[in-house]
């Protein structure tokens, strides 16, 4: 499912309670992290809940390097936010990742209006981490 599909799904849900339940359901679909991947090195600073992000450098069909992300959290709603970010950023080239305007996309979902300031800060800490990973890969390419 692409981020555009997700935006369409959100548009069909009128009530924010339904949208929150949907976000929680998205979190249940995350690729699992191993126990070892729940490490301090993979933990995202700036999040109230515990969040871990892992990236793997892969090649797309054209042989271009892409970053595949996986993540986890100890909070259900945050796991859903991680799942949304995976749809937004995973399996893209570093240049594509750095070109994505996360705020604009997340505004289309209406998340900025309905997250607490702490969750919003944590969400953008995850975005910053993903962009940092993309910059690091781009610097070595």
Q: What are the catalytic residues? A: 47
The residue count for the chain:
141
Element (H, E) at 18: helix 16-27
Running DSSP on this structure, what letter comes out for residue 141?
-
- Report d(CA 42, CA 37) in Å as an integer: 7
C-alpha to C-alpha distance for 136 and 75, rounded to whole angstroms: 28
H or E element in which residue 55 lies: strand 51-59
């Amino acid at each position: 499912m692409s981020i555009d599909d997700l935006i369409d799904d959100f548009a069909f849900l009128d009530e924010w309670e339904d949208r929150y339940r949907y976000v929680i359901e998205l979190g249940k679909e995350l690729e699992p992290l191993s126990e070892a991947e729940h490490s301090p090195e993979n933990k995202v600073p700036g999040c109230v809940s515990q969040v871990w992000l892992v990236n793997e450098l892969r090649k797309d069909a054209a042989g271009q390097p892409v970053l595949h992300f996986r993540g986890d959290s100890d909070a259900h709603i945050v796991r859903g936010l991680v799942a949304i970010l995976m749809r937004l950023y995973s399996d893209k080239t570093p240049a594509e990742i750095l070109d994505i305007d996360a705020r604009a996309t997340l505004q289309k979902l209406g998340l900025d209006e309905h997250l607490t300031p702490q969750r919003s800060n944590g969400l953008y800490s995850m975005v910053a981490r993903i962009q940092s990973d993309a910059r690091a890969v781009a610097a070595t390419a």
